Amino acid sequence: MIRAALRDLQWRLKRFVIAMAGVALVFAMGLIMTGLDESFSLEVDRTLDAVGAQVWAVSDQASGPFTSFLPMIDTAGGPDGAPMLVLRQTIADGDKVLDLVVLGVVPGRLGSPTDVDGAPLAQPGQVVVDDGLEGAGIGDTLNIGGRSVQVVGTVSGQRLLAGLPMAYITLSDAQAISTQGQPAATAFLYSQPAIDPPPGLKVMTNAQVKSDVLRPLKDARSSISLVRYLLWTVAATIIGSVLYLQAMERTRDFAVFKATGTSTAAIGVGLALQAVVLSLAAAALAAILALILAPMFPMHVEIPGSAFMLLPVVTVVVGLLASLIALRKTATVEPALAFGG
């Protein structure tokens, strides 16, 4: 039955190739959906690693440093706490309005940008931006919150909240923008894993900060997961319909096989083999298509290596489940049809 199944695929090669291309495109979109979902988490990890804090102290009324704006007097951090002021701002790029997350930091202290391409942040009037910010090259001047700052350096891969690029300015510039120059901060950074928070503050770990940053994206991530499952269903439907049509066309063949002693299970193995071959070929093509399509998306798509490793497993499972549709048809074939007119 295995040889017969392979010969049947060869006989219907054109149909097989068309089905494979359709299934591959569906699986490629599934990979991209996985990449989008992973990007939300990976961008937070990279940004928190770049900040370098082990502990965050924020107002006990705030949900987190990046989702609440509750300024506090910056001396509340104590001698070891590096103050930071987090702002959400927009800048104009021609007719476009670009969103960014602004971090006001003390140059040289915890939270100040590292691994900078260009010059590090050193004094007021300067800004270090993520290289994903459109129209912001080294030497350019940006207007952030009504304050002109010059881009002196760039960092890479530091984004939050579904792709919003980071911009680092001095704490004094951030205070001039948001608190009219009053000495205030929205968070204090510590390099030690455990501290006693000053009165009115609460301590958050990086894991808690990450969870808070991803919280507003919960519905978006759930929607992406739902779309991914629907894509798998579409792929199973395509494979199942192709195999079912082949089973319809081969009704007389199956009757002959049964009349000569071939069991329904053996026929099912042949159908399953066709489904696996179709699925694995589609998986290989899907991986290539996903790498080609991912850079075309407006959002940054990072497909993890684990998704590529899991793809063949998913495709085979989907293919085997789809083959049950055709197997159900073959189970009803009577051997007597082999002797019909």
Q: Is 261 left (phi over 0), alpha (psi -120 to 50) or beta?
A: left
How much is the mean pLDDT over the chain?
82
Q: Is 163 left (phi over 0), alpha (psi -120 to 50) or beta?
A: left
SS3 23: helix
Percent of all residues in the chain with a pLDDT value above 70, rounded to a whole number: 81
Among the ranges 141-155, 229-243, 310-324, which has the highest mean pLDDT value? 141-155
Structure confidence at residue 173 as a pLDDT band (50, 70, 90): very high
pLDDT in tens, 179-220: 888 888 999 999 887 677 777 888 999 999 999 999 999 998
- Prediction pTM value: 0.78
Q: What pLDDT score was predicted for residue 116?
A: 86
Separation between Cα atoms, residue 107 and residue 197, nearest integer Å: 23
Count of positions (residues) in the chain: 341
CB-based contacts of 209: which residues, under 8 Å, 6+ apart? Answer: 48, 56, 64, 65, 66
Separation between Cα atoms, residue 104 and residue 182, nearest integer Å: 13
pLDDT greater at residue 196 or residue 27: 27
* Of 39-53, 156-170, 259-273, 294-308, minimum mean pLDDT range: 259-273
pLDDT in tens, 43-78: 999 999 999 899 998 988 999 999 988 888 765 545
* Residue 100 near residue 165, CB atoms below 8 Å: yes
Q: What pLDDT score was predicted for residue 236?
A: 78
State the pairing for strand pair 147-155/117-118.
Answer: antiparallel
Mean pLDDT of 231-252: 73
On the 0-12 / 13-18 / 19+ scale of CB atoms within 10 A, 97 is exposed
Taken in order 56, 60, 64, 65, is the CA torsion positive or negative? negative
Q: How far does Cα 226 stand from its chain's mean position?
A: 14
pLDDT greater at residue 278 or residue 121: 121
Residue 17 has pLDDT above 90, yes or no: no
The Cβ of residue 57 has, within 10 Å, a number of other Cβ atoms equal to 27
Closest alpha carbon to 39 in 243, 301, 324: 301
Separation between Cα atoms, residue 304 and residue 58, nearest integer Å: 33
CB-based contacts of 81: which residues, under 8 Å, 6+ apart? Answer: 57, 188, 189, 190, 195
Radius of gyration of the CA atoms of the chain, in A: 29
Q: What pLDDT score was predicted for residue 228?
A: 86
Q: Is 52 left (phi over 0), alpha (psi -120 to 50) or beta?
A: left
Separation between Cα atoms, residue 160 and residue 217, nearest integer Å: 11
Residue 256 has pLDDT above 70, yes or no: no
Residue 130 has pLDDT above 80, yes or no: yes
pLDDT in tens, 75-116: 554 556 889 999 999 888 777 888 899 999 999 899 999 888
Separation between Cα atoms, residue 282 and residue 16, nearest integer Å: 10
Structure confidence at residue 226 as a pLDDT band (50, 70, 90): very high
Q: What pLDDT score was predicted for residue 27?
A: 87
On the 0-12 / 13-18 / 19+ scale of CB atoms within 10 A, 213 is buried
Residue 40 has pLDDT above 70, yes or no: yes
Closest alpha carbon to 254 in 270, 273, 239, 238: 270
pLDDT in tens, 138-157: 888 899 888 899 999 999 88
pLDDT greater at residue 316 or residue 124: 124
Residue 29 has pLDDT above 70, yes or no: yes
